[in-house]
Every structure is written in C-alpha cells, then in structure tokens.
Amino acid sequence: MTTPQLPPHPLTSTVVNPASTLPTDYNAATALLGGALAAGWGERIAVRTAHENWTYARLAAEANRAGNALRALGVEMEQRVALLLYDSPEFAATFYGAIAIGAVPIPLNTQLRPQDYQYMLNDSRARVLIAEADLWQQLAPLRRTLPFLRHIVLVHRGGEAASAEPGTLDLAALLHGARAELDPAPTTRDDAAFWLYSSGSTGFPKGCVHLQHDMHCCAELYAKPILELTADDITFSAAKLFFAYGLGNGLYFPLSVGASAVHFPGRVTPDAAFQVIAEQRPTVFFGVPTLYAAMLAMPSAADHYDTSSLRLCVSAGEALPADIYRRWHERFGVEILDGIGSTEILHIFISNVRGQIVPGSSGRLVPGYDAAIVDEQGQPVPRGEIGNLLIAGDSTCSQYWNKHERTKATILGQWIQTGDKYYQDEQGAYWYCGRSDDMLKVSGQWVSPVEVEAALISYPAVLEAAVVGREDADGLVKPQAFVVLKPGETPSDELADALKQHVKTTLVPHKYPRWIEFVAELPKTATGKIQRYKLREAFAVTQ
C-alpha cells in the first residue's frame, strides 16, 4: 500500500480531547490510585482472585512499595521495567508502581518463545525483569544474551522456594522491605507511561510507546460512556492484561470508576470462563469471537452455570459474526458489544452501543475519535465502498520504539493507518472486511474473508471458519475455506457442497468458497485472532 495523502482532519470544536483537560503535571498511577483513595474508595475491592481480594487501599500501598523497591534497585525515570506476569494483583502493583516513579513498565505476553523475550528485552533495554518464577525457567538459559538487564525479580507461587533461583530477587521480600508511602516522579501528561508490543502477522514486534494521558482518554471516551461502567460493576476479561484490550478491561477501566476486576491467571477456556462467571459474579464480560463460539458450543452451559450477574458482554480482536451475536443473545439474554481497537490506539475506537446493536458490524465511531476510509492513493472513498481505515484520536501511541521508518509510514500526523479494510453503510455503521493483506479480488470485485466466514458460521454444523485466497487452474484468485465442525458433525463431500450452496444463497454467488477443507482447529494468535497467513503458507507447502 502506498503512503496516502492526509485527508482533511474533520475535528470540530465540539469534539473534546480528554487529555487537554488534564493538568500538565500528571502521573497516571497516582491519578488513578491516589484519586481512588481521595474519593473514599479505599475499602472497596479493586482486584478479585480465586484466593484473595485486594482493596484499593492495599493496591495503592503495594504499588507504592513496588515503586520504592524499583528505586532501591537503581531504576530511574524513563528506564524500562519488563513484566512477565500472570493476571494478578502483583501485575497491577508493579505496573502502577513503575509508572509512579516515572519508569516505563512493559507487559510481556506470557505465551511466547524464549527468543521472543530475548528480542523484546534487548530491544527495550529493560533494566529490570519482574517475572513468574516458572516462566523465568525457560528464559534463564539466555541470561548472558541480555546485556541491558540488571535485575531479575521473581514471583513465587504455590509453595515455590523463594531462594531457588541464584542471581534473582524475590518480589514478596522486596515489597515487604519497602515503604508504603511514595513521592511520585514529576512526570507530565505527555511523558511515556508504558509500552505494549504489537506483533502483527509478520516482522519483529513493535514497541508502541503510550503516554501518561492515554489510559485516561480510553476510560473517558469508551469505558464510561459506552460501557457505562460504575462503581457497582465487576469486570472479567478473557483477554489478558498484557494485551491492550485486556489492560483496559481488567485494570484501568474498573479503577477509573471505583469498580473491581477479576484476575484469572490461567488460560480462559469455555469451561473456565463459565466457572469464573458463576463464582465471581462479574457484571461485564470481555471475550473474543472464537471464545463466544466455543462457549455456545456447550449446549448445556446455560443449565449448569449461573450467568445471571452479566449485564453486558464485549467482543474485540476479530469481527463478531452476526449469527454468534444472535445465538448468544437468545441463549443468555445479554447483548455483546462488538468493536474494533488496536495496540497502537490502546483500546476500542469503533463500537456498538447498548440497545442499538447492528449485528455483524463494528458499530459506530466512539465520540472523541475520527475516522476516514480512503483508497490506495489516500483519497476518501464514497460511502458503501471498501477502503483503508484511518483513525485519529489522542490515545494513539506516540511512536514505535526504535522503528523510525515504520512510525512514519503508519502514523500520518493526527492519523494512524490501522491496516484494516472497512466500509461505512448509509446508517453510519462500520463493517470490517479483513486486514488489508487478507482481502481477495475475485472476478474483479473485492471479497471480504470475514463476510464469507460469517456466512459459513451461520450454517448449523459449523463452529469456526477461515477464508483465504487460492489460485485456480487459470491463475485466478478464488476463496478457499477451512472449516471446523461442531462436535458430533462429520466431514463429507455432501456437507462441503451444502456449505458452498449456503454461501451462494446467503451472499452473492461469486463470493462462495470454491474449495472447502475440514480441519480440527484453526491457527490463532494468543488473543484468538485467526492467522490466515499460516493457512496460506501451509496450503502452499502442500501443493
């Protein structure tokens, strides 16, 4: 895609930038936690786990101890602190403790390979790594290849011996010996606050540098007006805290209103999700489309698990098929607000809203953000036509760390290229059509793989589907589908023919998949996004 010309920025004086209302001297950690105590929320529960609950007062004290402990280790303003932690109160305390002293925490995905951690630790030049003891085991052999790392601080759980790792420190001991009062660093609202690594489908991970005011913007623009979060809410996010989506859902959204968050350290399977909902009684559940589909595939779940506490569900990561939305709403009586966000923009900027759901769409623009849909030359396309989505909003990261050319190609003044194909209908709803490199040109017309996947999923026997392009005997690109069937369904040529006919009648005929492969599972990222490029690569190898 060529670098587009900047379209005229459509902001008017009626659009309020939340960051502009903040004082110049501002620290996100002290604003959230100090603000919570000033509001009288000290005895409210901030973080819930299966084993214990932390009040706002305790979280604020432990965050202060974490900040003082990091200072004692020599960590200074703007130096990076990597967090390789499960969702837990310790994550919250060290994340905010680092921000409070002007250091920059970097949550790391707990599901990566050692070489991925090696790259990110060296790229960020993190001085301290705070890690789960069991996760450090896989990285320990690479210790000599991490020249910038000065200290490894471990979290020991479940009876692990705190002294078992030579050359490491124990987080519990450090916190115990630190003061619970802290003098925050003199940061400004435009200082770096934290990084999140965005990997995408190819290339090295990119460190998205987020500023002190970014969390405030997302809470003010999305959490409060769209989710209508209040102090009475309990949030539970299947997406982990090291993801941009999960960080808002499970940490700064609830803290911004005096609510509480459920932190579940394990993998959120359908069974685990239902069990946590039944036991912890969350009011807002954040999932991804593949998880909702898998939960719906448990036909007796509604009878075995109490989900009556839920007032709202949210989906992001991939477009939520209309059929999944309808079946969820019919079975559980709760709306799912589908939306789109990104690591670069921190959270959701286009969303459905309660009572105005447009099934299958991403909804409408979140007030406070601006959008433009442009062609390959950067010119706005007519409403109803597919183009490249650009977004403007003040929660956008300032840069990709150490990737100057990539930053210039992606962040265009006030606009950022999302890499997503979209169109906007006459009613104002935005419809996701896939990543820019996933779109198919079939018979001279754009075909969205997401649209074909949604049609396949609406067939009763289908659990999941992924669509990629494949050349036919004439070298022309046509859709190919990879289909996961529901338990009890059997693959057959007859079923494949029925699926093709179903898509032909559901959509226009040229969009139907010419080939259908039945598979046991689809390759996905840790957030549940289907990795279509892996399907393309795997198929190319077999040909």
pLDDT digits (tens, 9 = 90+) for 52-66: 999 999 999 999 999
For residue 161, what pLDDT is reported? Answer: 61
Neighbouring residues of 161: CB distance < 8 A, sequence distance ≥ 6: none
pLDDT over 90, % of the chain: 76
Which residues on adjacent β-strands are paired with residue 312?
284
**pTM for the whole structure:** 0.85
> Where does the pLDDT of residue 378 fall: very low under 50, low under 70, confident under 90, or very high at 90 and above?
confident
pLDDT at 118 over 90: yes
Average pLDDT over residues 219-244: 97
Kindly give the residue spans of alpha helices, DSSP state H, lying in 168-300. 171-176, 214-218, 244-247, 253-257, 270-280, 289-296
- Alpha-carbon Rg for the chain in angstroms: 23
What is the dihedral angle through the alpha carbons of 465, 264, 341, 210, rounded to the nearest 10 degrees?
Answer: -140
CB 467 within 8 A of CB 453: yes
Rounded distance, CA 352 to CA 361, Å?
8
Query: What residue ranges in 328-414 does DSSP mark as E strands?
Result: 336-341, 348-351, 364-365, 370-374, 387-392, 399-400, 411-412
> Where does the pLDDT of residue 10 fall: very low under 50, low under 70, confident under 90, or very high at 90 and above?
very low
Q: Which of 206, 432, 447, 236 lies closest to 341, judged by CA?
A: 432
CB 93 within 8 A of CB 79: no
Rounded distance, CA 438 to CA 448, Å?
8
Average pLDDT over residues 233-258: 97
Average pLDDT over residues 61-76: 98
pLDDT at 5 over 60: no
Q: Which domains, and CATH codes, for the chain?
A: 18-211 (3.40.50.980), 214-393+431-435 (3.40.50.12780), 440-542 (3.30.300.30)
For residue 12, what pLDDT is reported? Answer: 33
> Where does the pLDDT of residue 307 fall: very low under 50, low under 70, confident under 90, or very high at 90 and above?
very high
Amino acid at 379: Q
Long-range CB contact pairs, 417-420, < 8 A, 24+? 417/1, 417/4, 417/388, 417/389, 417/390, 418/340, 418/342, 418/344, 418/345, 418/388, 418/389, 418/390, 418/391, 419/200, 419/388, 420/340, 420/388, 420/389
**Number of neighbours of residue 365 by Cβ within 10 angstroms:** 18
Q: Which of 212, 210, 224, 214 lies closest to 256, judged by CA?
A: 224
